[in-house]
Amino acid sequence: MAKQRIYQAARELDLSSEALLKVIRSLGFTVKSHMSVITDEMYDAVKKKMAEDQAEAKKTDLKRTREREQIRRPKTATVRLERPSRKKVKKGKPKRRKIDQNKIREKVKETLVHMERSSRGKKRKYRTERTPDAGVVEENRLRVSEFVSVSEVASLLGVEPTEIIAKLLELGLMVTMNHRLDFETISMIADEYGYEAELIPEYGAQLFEAEEEKGEDLAGRAPVVTVMGHVDHGKTSLLDRLRETDITSGESGGMTQHMGAYELTVGEHKISFLDTPGHEAFTAMRARGAQITDICVLVVAADDGVMPQTIEAIDHARAAGVQILVAVNKIDLPTANPIKVKQDLAQHGVLVEEFGGETLCVEVSAKTGQGLDDLVEAILLQAEALELRACCSGPARGVIVESRLDRGKGTVATVLVQKGTLRAGDSFVAGLCSGKVRAMHDEHGTDVKEVLPSTAVQVIGFNGTPDVGDTFLVVEDEAKAKELSRKRMLARREQAFRASGEAVSLRKFQEDLKSGKSKELKIVLKGDVWGSVGALADSIQSLSTDEVKVNIIQRNVGPIKESDVLLAAASKAIVVGFHVKPDARARDTATRNSVEVRLYNIIFEAIDDIKLAMTGLLEPEYEEVSLGKAEVKETFKVSKTGLIAGCFVVSGEIRRGASAKVLRNEECIYTGTVESLKRFKDDAREVPAGMECGVGIAGVEDLEAGDVIECFELKEVARDLL
């Protein structure tokens, strides 16, 4: 039998978990709860016990049936009972009628079963009527977010909270109505009521999913196009040429490090572009771009061909089920070879139309503008084939593309609207943040009053800084938005609290023992935008090894503040700033608490410096450096000194106090220290090559003529991360 827990076995045996626990314990086995593993021995014993009970029950039923037949009287028979006189009653006690206890038990059992069925029926009706924010009930599924309270679970299941508390007490969990439960505990409770629990990733998300199930009036929408490819293949330059702007010159090191959103109008058609960086550190950003887009324009330089990040972009697009359109850039260069690019793409499963495939391919030049009209036409043609439609009515729903802190405006987030219409004054929730749309601006800074699907807009009015990729949802009022935000924060806090508890659990302690004592480099990471912070954090954490780990204890956007430095001081961490600087108070606090603050503008430098810092935490390695060799000619035994070898120094020098190996037939048989070294009768500190000497090695009592004594020292070697 495969390894399974008690509550799973109870389902197979058609018993409740509590009933199975009682049976197991009655058989002499020790189990804690229905989450305990049931062994083969337990399972077999339970089945045997159940078979015996069933056989006994059959015997009892048969016996009862026979007894009823014996005492049954014919229907025609009448019995006249005379009422006893009062005198007879006074003189003696009347005989009581014999009560059949078995019949009473049967009647009570029938009544209880009827009451339970009636109660269950009412609960099911109640469940279908209520759908709290914490989750939703669908047939045999309980869709719920993690870390919801006991009262919320009870409301979903249509039972009293005290009933849930009682079941948790049986499991050894002391809880209250407001106690938050993890998903594993919720799954066990749901299983007790015949439901299968399903995790909803975000608190309150099911409310908006239910709205999507309703009939909606769909209208055509603009395509969302993501530009992807390897670093320095001309993605942003291509967009610059299309929009007749100059964004590339403003990027650090000439490399895009943020995710941009732009809109292009071609006649009556509109195209929304997302520009993602090409460096390998921004893999996560490119993945997000592929998940919210309709068409992926894969930019490949004609003189460079398919590169590692090109392959990653292809994988992301395929994983997201997005149509790929190839743009072979830099065809104006004399070294351009577009045919080779198409051949290389074919090896990675991207077969262009020219080679008999279905992928559109356009040859362009961002520098001269050649082929750009063909590229736009190909995008519109692809979009027409996809028949893109969205509902323009109702509350807006979208995704956070980028977010940053502006000194004058506060948090500014780029939101890509995917459904509905976003208007100024709308209340919203995005991840852990909430707010009200105070103002909206397009990419040029122009005020916008309403935004339709497939349009990116900069929104002002957040009470915090949302993460890139967070779902943006418009709700009915600001109170609802704050309530959802508060509950999400509580769930996140509970998650963080439990994660910190795991750090000191026995399981984690055992892992540390197995892998050896691990070291940590703790970092407080601040950046200008969430996209860059997330990408840099992923790159730094990928440097972790079994010996040295990176622990980013906090990541956030905005300038480095005093609180960040104090956190680093308390945690013995360093502060890393990416495109941000510390304020005056933070600098003073860092100096006073000796906290190192490192500032970077280019991601390569940040990764290289942190890699060097981590390398310094590695346990050093040592290698043997040979000092010299001496051949043993003969041996002498000297009182109070021990065995002395008369040697001739062949190479290098022999030093007193140095480590030495004794080699016999090129195999090391002893290792020790040169305890004594004499030149004739005088003590010597060292004897160079070409001279004779007497050598005594500590602990060595067996030397023969022909043995080689090699003198060496251990030299520390700096280690590098793999």
Could you report the per-residue pLDDT of 9-64, keeping only the tens digit for each? 877 887 777 778 888 888 888 877 666 788 888 888 888 888 887 777 777 767 76
Residue 631 has pLDDT above 90, yes or no: yes
**What was the pLDDT predicted at 502?**
43
Q: Which of 177-181, 220-224, 256-260 has the lowest mean pLDDT?
A: 256-260
The helix (H) or strand (E) run that includes residue 283 is: helix 283-291
Residue 6 has pLDDT above 70, yes or no: yes
At residue 145's C-alpha, the angle toward residues 141 and 148, to 5°, is 110
**What was the pLDDT predicted at 651?**
93
Q: How many CB atoms lie within 10 A of CB 219?
A: 12
**What was the pLDDT predicted at 464?**
87
Q: How many CB atoms lie within 10 A of CB 16?
A: 14
Residue 515 has pLDDT above 70, yes or no: no
The residue that leads in pLDDT, 494 or 88, is: 494
Phi-psi region of 464 (alpha: psi -120 to 50; beta: other; left: phi over 0): beta
Q: How far is CA 40 from CA 5, 50, 197, 363, in A?
A: 11, 15, 27, 67
Residue 560 has pLDDT above 60, yes or no: yes
**What was the pLDDT predicted at 238?**
86
**What was the pLDDT predicted at 217?**
66
Average pLDDT, stretch 649-661?
92
Residue 100 has pLDDT above 80, yes or no: no
Q: What does the mean pLDDT of the chain come to?
A: 77
Positive or negative, the CA dihedral 501, 507, 509, 515 is: negative
Please answer whether residues 368 and 380 qualify as being in contact, where contact means their C-beta atoms are separated by less than 8 angstroms: no
| H-only helix segments in 444-524 | 478-502, 506-515
Average pLDDT, stretch 594-604?
84
Q: Which of 94-103, 390-399, 522-531 has the lowest mean pLDDT?
A: 94-103
Q: Which of 385-389, 650-654, 675-679 has the lowest mean pLDDT?
A: 385-389
pLDDT tier at 506 (50, 70, 90 boundaries)?
very low
Residue 436 has pLDDT above 90, yes or no: yes
At residue 566's C-alpha, the angle toward residues 562 and 567, to 5°, is 115
Q: Which of 100-109, 285-294, 358-367 has the lowest mean pLDDT?
A: 100-109
Q: Which two tokens stand for residue 314?
A: 């292809």
Find where tokens 């418009």 sit. 474
Distance (Å, whole) CA 227 – CA 518: 41
Dihedral over alpha carbons 252, 257, 259, 262 (to 10 degrees):
30
| H-only helix segments in 369-449 | 372-386
Q: List, for residues 151-166, the tens digit of each pLDDT value.
A: 888 888 888 888 888 8
Q: Which of 31-40, 67-76, 359-368, 582-591 has the lowest mean pLDDT?
A: 67-76
Average pLDDT, stretch 142-147?
75
Average pLDDT, stretch 286-302?
78
Average pLDDT, stretch 248-261?
50
Residue 67 has pLDDT above 60, yes or no: yes
pLDDT tier at 76 (50, 70, 90 boundaries)?
very low
Distance (Å, whole) CA 167 – CA 18: 9
Distance (Å, whole) CA 135 – CA 153: 8
Distance (Å, whole) CA 448 – CA 56: 80
Dihedral over alpha carbons 15, 20, 21, 27 (to 10 degrees):
170
**What was the pLDDT predicted at 94?**
46
Q: Which of 193-202, 221-230, 256-265 has the lowest mean pLDDT?
A: 256-265
**What was the pLDDT predicted at 429?**
92
**What was the pLDDT predicted at 592?**
79
Find where tokens 């309980």 sit. 142
- Buried b / exposed e along 167-178 (16+ C-beta atoms within 10 A): bbeebeeebeee
| DSSP one-letter code for 97 | P
Distance (Å, whole) CA 703 – CA 17: 74
Residue 663 has pLDDT above 80, yes or no: yes
Q: Which of 357-366, 461-470, 703-712 has the lowest mean pLDDT?
A: 461-470
Please answer whether residues 198 and 143 qualify as being in contact, where contact means their C-beta atoms are separated by less than 8 angstroms: yes
**What was the pLDDT predicted at 435?**
92
Average pLDDT, stretch 582-605?
84
Residue 213 has pLDDT above 50, yes or no: no
Please answer whether residues 394 and 420 qualify as being in contact, where contact means their C-beta atoms are separated by less than 8 angstroms: yes
Minimal CA–CA distance to 462: which of 481, 488, 445, 479?
A: 481
Q: Which residues pair with 453 in a beta bridge?
A: none
**What was the pLDDT predicted at 133?**
59
**What was the pLDDT predicted at 720?**
53
Strands 667-679 and 692-697 turn out to be antiparallel
> What is the distance of C-alpha 168 from the center of its chain?
28
**What was the pLDDT predicted at 120?**
42
**What was the pLDDT predicted at 636?**
86
Q: List, for residues 359-406, the tens digit of each pLDDT value.
A: 999 999 988 889 988 998 999 988 888 888 888 888 898 888 888 888
**What was the pLDDT predicted at 154?**
86
Secondary structure class of 213 (helix, strand, coil)? coil
Residue 652 has pLDDT above 70, yes or no: yes
| H-only helix segments in 93-249 | 101-129, 150-157, 161-170, 183-192, 205-212, 235-243
The residue that leads in pLDDT, 711 or 151, is: 711
Strands 708-717 and 433-441 turn out to be unpaired
Residue 600 has pLDDT above 70, yes or no: yes
User: pLDDT above 70 covers what percent of the chain?
Assistant: 75
Average pLDDT, stretch 412-441?
91
Secondary structure class of 81 (helix, strand, coil)? coil
Q: Which domains does the chain have, with CATH numbers?
A: 4-65 (1.10.10), 118-200 (no CATH), 222-387 (3.40.50.300), 513-615 (3.40.50.10050), 621-717 (2.40.30.10)
Q: Which two tokens stand for residue 260?
A: 């941009």
* Most confident residue range from 193-207, 281-295, 461-475, 495-509: 461-475
Please answer whether residues 348 and 311 qualify as being in contact, where contact means their C-beta atoms are separated by less than 8 angstroms: yes
**What was the pLDDT predicted at 84?**
45
pLDDT tier at 243 (50, 70, 90 boundaries)?
confident
**What was the pLDDT predicted at 88?**
43
Residue 590 has pLDDT above 60, yes or no: yes
**What was the pLDDT predicted at 647?**
94
Please answer whether residues 467 and 431 qualify as being in contact, where contact means their C-beta atoms are separated by less than 8 angstroms: yes
Average pLDDT, stretch 658-671?
89
Distance (Å, whole) CA 364 – CA 276: 19
Residue 639 has pLDDT above 70, yes or no: yes
Strands 196-200 and 141-145 turn out to be parallel
Minimal CA–CA distance to 484: which of 497, 494, 472?
A: 472
Q: Please, which residues have CB within 8 angstroms of residue 696's CB and are 6 or more apart in sequence?
A: 641, 642, 643, 644, 645, 674, 675, 676, 677
Residue 195 has pLDDT above 60, yes or no: yes
**What was the pLDDT predicted at 77?**
42
**What was the pLDDT predicted at 509?**
37
Find where tokens 């009768």 sit. 681
Secondary structure class of 47 (helix, strand, coil)? helix
**What was the pLDDT predicted at 645?**
92
**What was the pLDDT predicted at 247?**
44
